[in-house]
Amino acid sequence: VASPQLADLAALTEVVGADHVLVDDDVRAGYEVDWTGRFRGRCRAVVRPGSTAEVAAVVRWCGAHGLAVVPQGGNTGLVGGSVPGPDGDGVVVSLHRLQRFDPVDEVAAQVTVGAGVTLAALHERVRGSGWAFGVDLAARDSATIGGMIATNAGGIRVLRHGAMRAQVLGVEAVLGDGSVVSHLGGLVKDNTGYDLAGLLTGSEGTLGVVTAARLRLVPDPPDRVVVLAPLPSVAAAMALCARLRARVPGLEALEAVLGDGLALVCDHLGLAHPFPADPPVALLAEWAGEGDPPDALVEIFGSDDVLVAADGAGRERLWRYREAMTESISAVGVPHKLDVTLPLGSVAEFADAVVGAVQAAVPPAAVHLFGHLGDGNLHVNVTGVDPDDERVDDVVLRLVADHGGSISAEHGIGRAKVPWLGLVRSDSEIAAFAAIKAALDPNGVMNPGVLLPGEG
Site of interaction with ligand FAD (CB under 6 A): 35, 70-78, 81-82, 95, 115, 137-139, 142-144, 146-148, 150-151, 153-155, 204-205, 209-210, 326, 410-411, 447, 450
Using the minimum distance from each CB to ligand MLT, give the nearer residue, 59 or 266.
266
What is the widest separation between alpha-carbon atoms in the chain? 71
Residue pair 268/331 in contact by the 8 Å Cβ criterion: yes
Using the minimum distance from each CB to ligand MLT, give the nearer residue, 371 or 448.
371
Question: How many of the chain's residues bind ligand MLT (CB under 6 A)?
Answer: 8
Count of alpha carbons within 13 angstroms of residue 430, beta-carbon side: 16
Q: Which of residues 345-384 bind ligand MLT (CB under 6 A)?
A: 371, 379
**Can you tell me the distance from the alpha carbon of 206 to that of 208, in angstroms, rounded to the nearest whole number?**
6
**Can you tell me the distance from the alpha carbon of 46 to that of 88, in angstroms, rounded to the nearest whole number?**
12
- Residue 124 Cβ, how far from ligand FAD at the closest point, in Å? 16
Beta-bridge mates of residue 216: 110
CB atoms inside a 10 Å sphere around CB 41: 21
| From the list ligand FAD, ligand MLT, none, partner contacted by residue 76 (C-beta under 5 to 8 A by kind) | ligand FAD
Count of alpha carbons within 13 angstroms of residue 113, beta-carbon side: 30
- Residue 208 Cβ, how far from ligand MLT at the closest point, in Å? 25
**Can you tell me the distance from the alpha carbon of 436 to that of 231, in angstroms, rounded to the nearest whole number?**
46
- Residue 326 Cβ, how far from ligand MLT at the closest point, in Å? 3
- Residue 311 Cβ, how far from ligand MLT at the closest point, in Å? 23
Cα angle 323-234-327, degrees, rounded to a multiple of 5: 20
Q: In 266-353, which ranges are E strands?
A: 281-289, 307-309, 336-341
DSSP letter, residue 392: H
Using the minimum distance from each CB to ligand MLT, give the nearer residue, 138 or 351.
138
| From the list ligand MLT, ligand FAD, none, partner contacted by residue 318 (C-beta under 5 to 8 A by kind) | none
| From the list ligand MLT, ligand FAD, none, partner contacted by residue 325 (C-beta under 5 to 8 A by kind) | ligand MLT
C-alpha distances in Å from residue 449, one per residue of 103, 375, 454: 38, 29, 8
Q: Judged by CB under 6 A, which of 325, 378, 395, 421 binds ligand MLT? A: 325
**Can you tell me the distance from the alpha carbon of 283 to that of 254, in angstroms, rounded to the nearest whole number?**
7
Using the minimum distance from each CB to ligand FAD, give the nearer residue, 301 or 321.
321
Using the minimum distance from each CB to ligand MLT, give the nearer residue, 57 or 226.
226
β-strand pairing of 168-175 with 110-114? unpaired
Number of H helices, E strands in the chain: 15, 17
**Per CB under 6 A, 337 contacts ligand MLT:** yes
**Per CB under 6 A, 326 contacts ligand MLT:** yes
Q: Which residue is nearest to ligand MLT (CB)?
A: 326
Q: Judged by CB under 6 A, which of 21, 138, 168, 253 binds ligand MLT? A: 138
Binding residues vs ligand MLT (CB under 6 A): 78, 138, 325-326, 337, 339, 371, 379
